[in-house]
């Protein structure tokens, strides 16, 4: 009995020792990939940071490189946010520990890759994309995001997304100027904004048209205008806003490269050679009401308001009876422009760009145009220079 009693007393101690050893054997490595455990590369950022501070620089590099390689093409937003968080933490540690440049480059690659992919796969909101854009410490990566959206633009047909994207492009342009990025990066952001504007006009030409205008006062003694014409030039001048005096058939102010942001159209330019100016107008998509102002170096502020008289939107309404191709519009047709009989010849010498010439039947005048064809809507839009003539 004595021996059995001893055995029974010792057995719990033996199992306790086994349990202690088993627990140590199964303890989680704080730098192990946690995807299978918690669904994220790093289950505990704080624990991983503590571990990273207590290993040498070569080990930090190996850990970082493993994450860079494995998650380079990751699309899951929660995983990318996790990678960005640990990437920024490792960068802070490496800077504090004076790690060599080649390690810092790999650390930057982890954070930059996460930011780049977040910009691609996060819901498109200008504020969020701009926050990510500012976190990039590489000019090449900043250009990469701009270039990505330039290439992806052809796949975006949501007006709301395009308006968010053009807001981002404008902010990215201003930011790259402020941090003194090279000019080609700023130009790429500006080009993106212009490309988005063209797509917006194509999808929703609600703001294109003719507006009757009333000026609040004319104390500045400039030639007053009573109409505003907004249209896509279909050229590298992009969106044109002309302020016109119809009594003298004169363009009082003309602004090219105007930008659409939400329900606003804006343009400002600072020049040492020409008149510096800014204009800002708001329009209602439902009522056609328009209101805004012009400020120039000569005139402090010219306020105006009015309503749409003619809209191009109605031309895009309705359905096309059958599928059209880009080549269906290349032909000769007879008609009137405007009220003058003649023949319009249409050709294309550059992809998706159309050139046209109208010749009056009596050869009294010839007018050349450039334009864009929208097969899904069955609409060909042609413009002649940036001039608008009113015929009463």
- For residue 263, the 8-state DSSP code is T
Sign of CA dihedral 88, 93, 97, 99: negative
CA 233 to each of CA 249, 312, 316, 349: distance values in angstroms, whole numbers, following the listed order? 19, 14, 17, 18
Please give the structure tokens belonging to residue 158. Answer: 């949501």
CA atoms of 341 and 359, how far apart (whole Å): 9
Q: Do 213 and 228 contact (CB within 8 A), yes or no?
A: yes
CA 191 to each of CA 139, 197, 213, 259, 271: distance values in angstroms, whole numbers, following the listed order? 17, 10, 31, 11, 20
**Cα 29–Cα 30–Cα 33 angle in degrees, nearest 5:** 80
Residue 228: closest CA among 217, 252, 208, 244: 244
Written as tens digits, the pLDDT of the chain (392 aa) is: 444 444 444 444 443 434 444 444 344 688 888 888 889 999 999 999 999 999 998 998 999 999 999 998 888 889 999 999 999 999 999 999 998 989 899 988 998 899 888 888 888 888 989 999 998 888 888 998 999 999 888 778 677 888 899 999 999 999 999 999 999 999 999 999 988 877 776 666 677 888 999 988 666 567 889 999 887 765 655 778 899 998 888 888 888 888 877 788 888 777 666 667 788 999 887 788 999 998 887 777 889 999 988 876 667 666 777 778 778 888 888 888 767 889 999 998 887 788 889 998 888 888 888 877 877 667 787 877 654 433 32
Find the radius of gyration of the CA atoms of the chain.
Answer: 32
Sign of CA dihedral 251, 254, 260, 266: negative
Ordered by start, the domain boundaries in the chain are 35-203, 210-315, 322-383
Q: What pLDDT was estimated at residue 253?
A: 86
Q: What pLDDT was estimated at residue 219?
A: 62
Question: Residue 16, by phi and psi: left (phi above 0), alpha (psi -120 to 50) or beta?
Answer: alpha
Q: What pLDDT was estimated at residue 202?
A: 66
**Cα 274–Cα 276–Cα 281 angle in degrees, nearest 5:** 130
């Amino acid at each position: 009995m004595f021996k059995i009693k001893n055995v029974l007393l010792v057995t719990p101690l033996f199992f306790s020792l086994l349990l202690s050893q088993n627990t140590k054997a199964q303890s989680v490595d704080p730098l192990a990939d946690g995807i299978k455990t918690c669904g994220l590369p790093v289950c505990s950022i704080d624990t991983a940071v503590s571990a990273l501070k207590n290993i040498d620089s070569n080990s930090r590099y190996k850990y970082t490189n493993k994450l860079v390689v494995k998650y380079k093409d990751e699309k899951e937003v929660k995983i990318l946010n996790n990678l960005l968080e640990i990437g920024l933490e490792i960068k802070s540690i490496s800077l504090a520990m004076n790690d060599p440049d080649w390690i810092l480059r790999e650390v930057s690659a982890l954070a930059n890759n996460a930011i780049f992919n977040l910009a691609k796969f996060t819901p498109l909101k200008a504020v969020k994309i701009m926050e990510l854009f500012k976190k990039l410490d590489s000019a090449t990566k900043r250009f990469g995001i701009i270039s990505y959206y330039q290439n992806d633009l052809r796949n975006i047909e949501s007006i709301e997304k395009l308006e968010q994207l053009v807001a981002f492009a404008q902010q990215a342009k201003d930011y790259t100027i402020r941090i003194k990025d090279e000019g080609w990066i700023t130009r790429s952001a500006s080009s993106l904004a212009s490309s988005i504007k063209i797509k917006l006009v194509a999808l929703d030409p609600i703001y294109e048209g003719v507006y009757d205008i009333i000026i609040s006062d004319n104390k500045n003694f400039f030639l007053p205008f009573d109409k505003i014409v907004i249209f896509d030039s279909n050229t590298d001048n992009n969106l044109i806003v002309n302020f016109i005096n119809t009594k003298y058939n004169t363009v009082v102010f003309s602004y090219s490269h105007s930008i659409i942001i939400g329900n606003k159209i804006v343009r400002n330019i600072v020049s040492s050679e020409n008149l510096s100016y800014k204009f800002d107008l708001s329009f209602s998509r439902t009522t056609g009401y328009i209101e805004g102002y012009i400020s120039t170096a000569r005139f402090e502020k010219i306020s105006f308001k009015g309503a749409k008289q003619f809209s191009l939107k109605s031309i895009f309404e309705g359905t096309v009876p059958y599928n059209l191709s880009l080549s269906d519009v290349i032909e000769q047709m007879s008609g009137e422009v405007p009220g003058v009989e003649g023949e319009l010849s249409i050709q294309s010498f550059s992809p998706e760009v159309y050139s046209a010439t109208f010749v009056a039947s009596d050869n009294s005048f010839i007018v050349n145009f450039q334009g864009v064809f929208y097969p899904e809507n069955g609409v060909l839009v042609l413009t002649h220079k940036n001039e608008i003539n009113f015929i009463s």
